[in-house]
Amino acid sequence: MEGIPEELGSRLAKAESVAVLTGAGISAESGVPTFREAQTGLWARWHPEDLATPQAFQRNPRLVWDWYRWRRQLVRDVEPNSGHLALVELERRVSDFHLSTQNVDGLHRRAGSRNLSELHGNLFRDVCAYEGIDVDLPAADDELPPRCPRCGGPVRPGVVWFGEPLPRAELLEAESAAAGCDVYLLVGTSGLVQPAAGLPLSARRAGAYVVEINPETTALTESVHCSIRGLAGDVLVSLLERLG
């Protein structure tokens, strides 16, 4: 891994406000398959459009639920890693901190991050497909799709599917954090999916110092002030050490 650039170290040390956007890369070290890797094993013959769209759910809600239950189990079996924990510690040290994530695995929340916007929802939420509100299902509910206890309509996973808008409140929080921060960290995301990929650009326009942490070049590499090539866990832990 490259060292922490001098300028980033000093800007972070002075920063009153830090915002972060994470993607699948931060959970890679926990062993969570990325969206594309999740199309393996039993699920290799399905395309994301067969499983993660409102149309797929209408067509075959049982199939979609089987896939999400499988993904829930994958995530239940893993733990937050040093990258998630470093962001919890960074939140403790910076007076104004906001974390936006595109991940639906809930690992930031499990690690202890508090000021958090889950832009693509959360794998473990159950939402009434008719009313769009969270519901509590009985633990032993095996019906697929589960039924809303209020209206009897089908229940869906509380994630954002292809073609759906992001949750408004979360997106507004993420935009406001990007527009008001001194340093913006972009961790483990390919930067291909809008509107999340626009957040670092807004941060830069508003005057933030924008840093990418990723072992690979991404669609956003050209637009950031500085790229650190390394694994999220290693780099974030080094950042904290640099802060002292």
List the catalytic residues: 120
Token pair, residue 32, equals 């969570």
Binding residue for ligand OAD, selected from 17, 34, 53, 221, defined by CB under 6 A: 34
Q: Does 120 bind ligand OAD (CB under 6 A)?
A: yes
Nearer to ligand OAD, 28 or 183 (CB): 28
- Residue owning tokens 């958090």: 116
Q: Does 232 bind ligand OAD (CB under 6 A)?
A: yes
**Distance between CA atoms of 20 and 172, rounded to whole angstroms?**
14
Contact string 124-163 vs ligand OAD (x = CB under 6 A): ------------------------------------x---
Q: Are 63 and 81 in contact (CB under 8 A)?
A: no
Q: Does 53 bind ligand OAD (CB under 6 A)?
A: no
Nearest to 189, CA basis, from 116, 120, 89 = 120
Residue count at the site for ligand OAD (CB under 6 A)? Answer: 23
Nearest to 5, CA basis, from 203, 232, 201, 211 = 211
Q: Does 79 bind ligand OAD (CB under 6 A)?
A: no
Q: Are 120 and 159 in contact (CB under 8 A)?
A: yes
Segment holding 84, helix H or strand E: helix 82-93
Q: Which stretch binds ligand OAD (CB under 6 A): 11-19, 84-92, 171-179, 215-223?
A: 215-223
Q: Which residues contact 93 (CB under 8 A, 6 or more apart)?
A: 240, 243
Q: Which stretch binds ligand OAD (CB under 6 A): 3-11, 23-31, 87-95, 132-140?
A: 23-31
- Beta carbon of residue 199, minimum distance to ligand OAD (angstroms, whole number): 12
List helix spans (H) across the chain.
6-14, 25-28, 48-51, 54-59, 61-76, 82-93, 107-111, 168-180, 199-205, 232-243
Neighbours of 73 (CB within 10 A): 9
Q: Does 24 bind ligand OAD (CB under 6 A)?
A: yes
Footprint of ligand OAD on residues 177-196 (CB under 6 A)?
A: 188-190, 192-193
- Beta carbon of residue 219, minimum distance to ligand OAD (angstroms, whole number): 9
| Binding site residues, ligand OAD, CB under 6 A | 23-25, 28-29, 34-36, 52, 102, 120, 160, 188-190, 192-193, 214-216, 218, 231-232
